Structure 1
Amino acid sequence: MEAAIASASTSRAAPRRIVFGSLNGLRFILAIWIAWFHVGHMFDDAGMGSIALLRMGAARVDIFFVLSGFVLTHVYWNRSKVSFSYVDFLVARLARIYPLYLFALALVACYIFAGSLVGKSPENPYPLSDLIASLFFLQSFGVTETNAWNFPAWAVSAEIGGYLLFPVFLAIANLLKRMPWVMLAVGIFSIIAAELFSRHYFNLPLNTAVTDWGALRGAIMIFCGVCARVAYSGFTRGREGAIIATMFGILIAGASAINEWGLPLIGLGASFMIMGLARLDHMHEPTGLSHPVMQRLGDYSYAVFLLHAPIYTLTVEILSMAGITFHPTLLTSFLMVVMVTIIAVPVTNVVEKPARKYIRRGWENLRHQQLRHAGL
């Protein structure tokens, strides 16, 4: 899941790196917010899990989707001098998301296997068929019985829905590139249409779609991010305008999350927040999120997102074996998030980055052409 260092390079031109530092910092904030929310959600849903500020973390994944669509469009949009290769795009995305995704699934499988060795069965079922489906990113396409195998990873599966439709999204972007604000309106109305479709055919509010076609949710919010990037090309306001757009976006997205006003307003708020932050970065205005420390933490956000649930489960089990009962509080849950962030550092550097480079290098050697890199 994902977003914000964007760079483009090909074998026919010298690499040119375009950085949206604030978006990378935002990515980390979203990841730890989700991770913090899940402590209460997993171990004290009626207590700490009901705190409104933390429950807003459930909506942060939708901002992730918008962020992903924005940055991917920034990298792959056809205004680039290099034509879009869908196969190269998919290989680059798989190189980015699959190694750590597979590592997290293996961690859950090891937990189940270790428990069976000592005669301890998990409280929830872990169907083998769901594991196989998860290996192919299918858990958000309505084909699994449960969401047990690393449940936050449904969002990665949902992103696949956006990847499958990404060429269509880019075609629409090219069609409406001279009408950037119309494009943003199309994005918001598309969310409304998807919401109506989900309620009519699945009897399900779109913001609650996870295993029941969460892929639709992911795809439409990624499309909103695509639309936001097109709108950004027409967003030429100065510093004050960028700050107003950012604050307006935060207000709309935050109020929508707290009051459960639905995905259209979250998409609108996320779009303005991201456009505002990107414009501030373009003008080299400091935002706090663009600080070097936040940049480094942003690099670890994907590992934080994918690993926090398995690590929480393992930690609570180990504490239980030692005769210690875990009581979720603001302090203990914060310490859990800190622990996950610390673990994410070596996992990112030892597992994620080397595997990504290996896959990309192998494909580049085969194609004799460099892949563009989105850093999501």
Structure 2
Amino acid sequence: MKKIDGLTSLRAIAALWVAICHFYYQVPDGGGFVERILRLGGLGVPLFFVLSGFILSHTYQRKFRYGVSKQQLLTYGVSRFARVYPAHFAMLLLYAIVLVPTGLYPEYFYDTAASFLASLALVHAWGFYPVPVWNQPSWTVSVELICYAAFPLIAVATARYSWRRAIGLAGIVASALVMGTLIFQGEWVFYFPLFIVKYGACFLLGCLIYFPFRDGVGKMGSVATMLSVAGAIVGIIYASSFGPRFEGFIPVFFALWIFALAAGSGPARKLFETRPFVYAGEISYSYFLAHEAALLAMLAIAEPLGFKPTDIPMGVKIAAGLVFALPLYHLVEEPGRRWIRSLPERMKFVRAPAR
């Protein structure tokens, strides 16, 4: 299935928004409108899940149309494991072997041997702990693992859906996200068991908006694409300005943005397909997992030199994240992904002489 480069770029926007939010933690409130939006970077997390649902559907929906064979399930499982685990494993070891023993990481009450093993197994955000543990951004990967496991079932269950039926169900899911935010409010944002429901719904929304794209419905010209992308961005900013209470509206605008880049054309799409944007999207997972460790290391270096967190410009913090993310991507994530994906073929080769 042909890769949609513009969607890769969106991952960079989500990862950077989340990272900037965390970089602001040591800085007192008091900025203007732009800073207030940047401080709400946690609202960018739904983009990961809506995007993941759409991309997995684009990659596997047709393959799973008539069911999922054992071989297909094995290939899918290995591919998903290879996608997320090498960088996660490397960062977890970095915390356990370097950051915690040296005191660079302020160890929390829930950072125990048990939570380390839970993180190792990627089940640490399944309701066992009320807060993120160890490498804190990795909770999203733990929730994503549930979505990965559910996707073959979703694909088979919806295989014969028309695009109209899928969009109707997407409207129900979007409405549930809006109502969930308004009803649960703070718990919806911070309570882990509800994270699974909330982000699982975002993932399902991404799966469902793929159907009109699959059926060639909703193709956009240059102007329509530009208006859709602009409208999505304005909607995200406007909803974010009201804070977490209106978070439920944001996945809808993300879905519009994703669909516009997939089905659209013209400058608005081509901008996100440029190599710098795409490369930023490719390294975004490593950046997302490494940015807090980079911040901790930078603050530990800056403090003896007399620098306070408020003295460090945002651009320097973003650059520090790259110092960690680039080697993680090029030396761990990509080689690890290729090696794990090659394992099934290697195993076949090893077993061949015994036949």
Same fold by TM (over 0.5)? yes
Please, which of 317, 320, 338 is the counterpart of residue 336 of structure 1? 317
Confirm or deny: 8 A CA contact 1:147 1:154 kept in the other structure.
yes
After TM superposition, the structure 1 = structure 2 runs for residues 198-347 of structure 1, keeping only pairs within 5 Å, are 207-209=188-190, 211-233=192-214, 234-260=217-243, 262-280=246-264, 286-327=269-310, 332-347=313-328
Q: Is 1:64 aligned to residue 48 of structure 2?
A: yes
Confirm or deny: 8 A CA contact 2:225 2:268 kept in the other structure.
no
AA partner of residue 271 (structure 2): G
Normalized against structure 1, the TM-score is what? Answer: 0.80
Decide whether aligned partners of structure 1 residues 334 and 254 sit closer, same or farther in structure 2, where only a CA change above 3 A counts.
Answer: same
What does residue 11 of structure 1 align with?
none
Confirm or deny: 8 A CA contact 1:207 1:262 kept in the other structure.
no
- After superposition, the C-alpha distances for 1:43-102 in whole angstroms (9 at most, x for unaligned) are 136456993221331111101111111111100002678964233222111111001011
Confirm or deny: 8 A CA contact 1:22 1:290 kept in the other structure.
yes
What does residue 19 of structure 2 align with?
35
**Deviation of the 1:138 alpha carbon:** 1.8
AA partner of residue 12 (structure 2): F
Secondary structure at 1:327 match in 2? helix
What does residue 112 of structure 1 align with?
100
Q: Following the alignment from structure 2 to structure 1, what is the Cα–Cα distance between the partners of residues 32 and 19?
A: 12
Q: Following the alignment from structure 1 to structure 2, what is the Cα–Cα distance between the partners of residues 264 and 188?
A: 12
Q: Is 1:348 aligned to residue 329 of structure 2?
A: yes
Secondary structure at 1:28 match in 2? helix
**Deviation of the 1:136 alpha carbon:** 1.6
- How big is the alpha-carbon RMSD for the aligned residues of Structure 1 and Structure 2? 2.9
Decide whether aligned partners of structure 1 residues 38 and 258 sit closer, same or farther in structure 2, where only a CA change above 3 A counts.
Answer: same
AA partner of residue 37 (structure 2): L
**Deviation of the 1:290 alpha carbon:** 1.1
**Deviation of the 1:325 alpha carbon:** 2.4
**Deviation of the 1:104 alpha carbon:** 1.2
Please, which of 72, 75, 98 is the counterpart of residue 85 of structure 2? 98
Q: Following the alignment from structure 1 to structure 2, what is the Cα–Cα distance between the partners of residues 231 and 209?
A: 33
- After superposition, the C-alpha distances for 1:6-60 in whole angstroms (9 at most, x for unaligned) are xx4xxxxxxxxx131211222112211211111012x136456993221331111
Count the aligned residue pairs: 340
What does residue 87 of structure 1 align with?
74
Confirm or deny: 8 A CA contact 2:226 2:267 kept in the other structure.
no
Normalized against structure 2, the TM-score is what? Answer: 0.85
What does residue 344 of structure 2 align with?
363
Q: Which runs of 5+ in 2 are unaligned?
A: 350-355
Decide whether aligned partners of structure 1 residues 198 and 163 sit closer, same or farther in structure 2, where only a CA change above 3 A counts.
Answer: farther
Structure 1 stretches of 4+ moved >4 Å: 47-50, 79-84, 194-200, 203-207, 283-286
Farther-moved stretch of structure 1 (53-62 vs 260-269): 260-269
Decide whether aligned partners of structure 1 residues 286 and 212 sit closer, same or farther in structure 2, where only a CA change above 3 A counts.
Answer: closer
Q: Following the alignment from structure 1 to structure 2, what is the Cα–Cα distance between the partners of residues 121 and 286?
A: 41
**Deviation of the 1:149 alpha carbon:** 0.9
**Deviation of the 1:131 alpha carbon:** 1.5
Q: Following the alignment from structure 1 to structure 2, what is the Cα–Cα distance between the partners of residues 199 and 262?
A: 7
